[in-house]
Amino acid sequence: MTSISSTLFQPSSPSLTHRKLHRSSSIRCCEDTVGRPRVQFKHQETNGLATFPEKNLNTVKLPPRPRRIILVRHGQSEGNVDESVYTRVADNKIGVTDRGVVEAEECGKRIRKMIEKDGAADWKVYFYVSPYRRTLATVRNLAKAFERSRIAGWREEPRLREQDFGNFQDREQMRIQKAVRSLYGRFFYRFPNGESAADVYDRITGFRETLRSDIDIGRFQPPGEQSPNMNLVIVSHGLTLRVFLMRWYKWTVEQFEGLHNMGNGNMIVMEKGYGGRYSLLMHHTEEELREFGLTDEMLSDQEWQKMAKPGELNYDSMMTGPSFFTHFDDEKEA
Q: Return the active site residues.
A: 74, 162
112 annotated ligand-binding residue = no
Among candidate residues 179, 195, 285, the one with its CA nearest the CA of residue 240: 195
221 annotated ligand-binding residue = no
48 annotated ligand-binding residue = no
Query: For 93, phi and psi rounded to 5 degrees?
Result: -105, 5
Q: How many CB atoms lie within 10 A of CB 94?
A: 19
247 annotated ligand-binding residue = no
79 annotated ligand-binding residue = yes
Q: Let me know: does 284 contact 9? Beta carbons within 8 Å.
A: yes
Q: Let me know: does 95 contact 137? Beta carbons within 8 Å.
A: yes
40 annotated ligand-binding residue = no
Tell me the CB-side half-sphere exposure of residue 13, using CA atoms within 13 A. 4
35 annotated ligand-binding residue = no
Q: Residues 194, 196, 199, 205: is their CA dihedral positive or negative?
A: positive
Question: Can you say which residues are annotated as belonging to the binding site for substrate?
Answer: 73-80, 134
